[in-house]
Structure 1
Amino acid sequence: MRTILDHLDAVDPALFVVDVSAEIALLARIASVPAIGIRMHGNRGDAAHLAGYRACVGLLAPFDEALEQPETPDWIRAMTHYAGGLCTAQDVVPGKAEARAMLGLSPDREIVVVLTGGGGAGTPYAPLTMAARALPETDWLVLGPVQREGHETDFGNLHLRGWVATITAYIAAADVVVASSGDTIVHEIARVGRPYVCAPEWRYFDEQMRKGERLAELGAAILVSSWPGASTPWRGLLDAAKALDPAALASLHTPTAAASAANYLDRLATSLWTR
């Protein structure tokens, strides 16, 4: 806290953008530094989170207002600027055939891309072996880290690619994407517009599960609350995802979201200090 206060003294900011932390938002309020709180999903109606929101001069949601949780109080909604689906990816989205050619993948086989980022322990590997055994004519490409139990059986149609630089191409090459529900992943899938099976990772305050519930309610994804422990559900999950209206997920990505967020911060900083 002392280090943060010294830094705020040194730079004398017009605004302090606080990534979720209620404690830092309250510190900013005590220090008379106007703070913007970043909104995230989850069960955040406890006294500490609400105090952190109230301490801010505004709130920024890097997601579409359609993803807002229904129980969110009106005063929080009124404080929130919904920037839309914010995505860091900038590369051109190829067509499915082009993406497969780029990656050296079969033009004909069904391809499922399984994706997670670095925020957790990784995708559980054991359920994926069940999926690969259940659907041997499907290629399962796993991006990012995996979490092993140590007793899994490997299958020839289950490919661990690890960290890749061409995530947009992999998503574009897929028939279905199976992924967690972190903000970046959701919007990268929405940007490409592929059928989505949402498998939330454990997070504090049920952040990913609550977001997954909203995606399912909007018809943007098929939600699995836990990884299937048997081979039988996998075909049904993939077919259910393919049956969704792709426009429901695609509408959650906003190409201008970064500019919207930046303009909001700029306008607020200007208005606060020119009153």
Structure 2
Amino acid sequence: MTTRSGPRPLVFFAHHQGRGHANRIMAIAQHIPENRPLVVLTAKPSQFDAISRDAKIVRLPDMIGAPSHSAALHDQPTPSVMHCVPLGVPEVREHMGIIAETLRHVDPALFVIDVSAEIALLARIMSVPAITIRMHGARSDAGHLAGYEASVAMLAPFDEALEQSDYPERLRARTFYTGGLCTTKDAIEAKQKARERLDLDPDRSVTLVIAGGGGSGTPYAPLTVAARAEPDALWLVAGPVHREGHETDFGNLRELGWIDNLTAYLCAADRVVASAGDNTVHEIARARKPFLCIPEWRYFDEQRAKARELERLSAAVTCETWPASIPEWQDVLARTDALDTDKLAALHDEGAARNAARWLEAQANRLWADQL
């Protein structure tokens, strides 16, 4: 038996797309005991500049879009238990090789994967216990199921009430639900106080549209129709919008662009229109605002699946596509205003990141009990 001078490290893998995976890992990491070393594998090390505790950051090559050495290699079929494994790509080999070498050298207590089914399989092949972060979506394919089955457990950063009915019971039994994990910690304040600070009319109806950064931008044209549907209300758009060139601007529709005080605008709003991104949902829940959810396209139908669960719980009104007419906007907004915001608020847990860290620590101790 090999002796060690302290606890085995935890290794985290952060997917490159968006900031959500990195922010989630940093939120959990701050609650991991200081004496347990942390290693983070990422293609975007800059996303971890704000990590609040010591961690070794290992840079991975960005392999997305890298070409194969030949057309014949590129044309080889993908195995059913994998999603993205092109042949003859040096960047992929380097990427996976660094992960494998890190696991071999570090010999971690746990490898927490946020997210990749293929990397979960790699961990199992290397005899390393993996924890896969759960996400919503159509994930009953062979690749996802193989990744789940290769993991010792799954960690779901949301409330169990939000789970999908088609998630297999045998996997649910091996899943820990943290409660709704929001990585935003800015203080929640009263609506009128927030409006005073933002210089917004205290009596005017205000709708906040959160345009996510993970896609091509929220379409601007439907928002001009919404502004016409409520000419006396103020519509504020935070984040990037996509214009087609034919839109007419209206005085009650204002673009804020990227802002660093989103929570203040959430507090100031009467209702919120946004996608079904993980952190976005929990930001709105934390602020207890009526939520009109318009999911964006994501792989494996992730956002639409989550939106359907939110509507099932009467926690949000959802639209599969943006409303295209004034009557349609008026209808969905009236239904949004009638929501009981307690149902959405119940899906957020202020202690979710701490819950996740404590569970990970317990799993590490359980699995390596005879080497403590």
TM-score band by shorter chain is: over 0.9
Q: Percent identity?
A: 59
Structure 2 residue 354 is the aligned partner of structure 1 residue 259: yes
Q: Deviation per CA, 1:107-129: give whole Å up to 9, x if none.
A: 11110000032211121111001
Among residues 261, 267, 275, which one is paired with 1:166 in the alignment?
A: 261
* Match in the other structure for 1:187: 282
Gaps of 5+ in 1: none
Q: Runs (4+) of structure 1 moved beyond 4 Å?
A: none
* Match in the other structure for 1:220: 315
* Match in the other structure for 2:224: 129
> RMSD across aligned C-alpha pairs, in angstroms?
0.9
User: Which residue identity is paired with 1:177?
Assistant: V
Among residues 136, 147, 171, which one is paired with 1:41 in the alignment?
A: 136
Structure 2 residue 248 is the aligned partner of structure 1 residue 139: no
Q: Deviation per CA, 1:15-68: give whole Å up to 9, x if none.
A: 111113110000010111111000000010001100000000110000000000
Count of residue correspondences? 275
Q: Deviation per CA, 1:156-183: give whole Å up to 9, x if none.
A: 1111101111111111111110000011
Among residues 34, 37, 58, which one is paired with 2:153 in the alignment?
A: 58
Higher RCO, Cα 8 Å, sep 6+ = 1
Structure 2 residue 200 is the aligned partner of structure 1 residue 102: no
Structure 2 residue 139 is the aligned partner of structure 1 residue 26: no
Higher mean C-alpha deviation, range 141-150 or range 179-188: 141-150
TM-score by length of structure 1 reads: 0.98
Higher mean C-alpha deviation, range 114-123 or range 36-45: 114-123
* Match in the other structure for 2:178: 83
> 2-side partners of 1:148 and 1:13: how far apart?
48
> 1-side partners of 2:259 and 2:357: how far apart?
29
> 2-side partners of 1:176 and 1:48: how far apart?
39
> 2-side partners of 1:105 and 1:75: how far apart?
51
> 2-side partners of 1:271 and 1:140: how far apart?
51
TM-score by length of structure 2 reads: 0.73
> 1-side partners of 2:305 and 2:142: how far apart?
19
Structure 2 residue 271 is the aligned partner of structure 1 residue 155: no
Q: What is the SS of the residue equivalent to 1:232?
A: helix
Q: Report how far residue 12 of structure 1 moved.
A: 2.3
> 1-side partners of 2:166 and 2:109: how far apart?
32
User: Which residue identity is paired with 2:278?
Assistant: D
> 2-side partners of 1:6 and 1:122: how far apart?
38
Structure 2 residue 296 is the aligned partner of structure 1 residue 201: yes
User: Which residue identity is paired with 2:158?
Assistant: F
**Preserved CA contact (<8 Å) 1:112 1:175:** yes
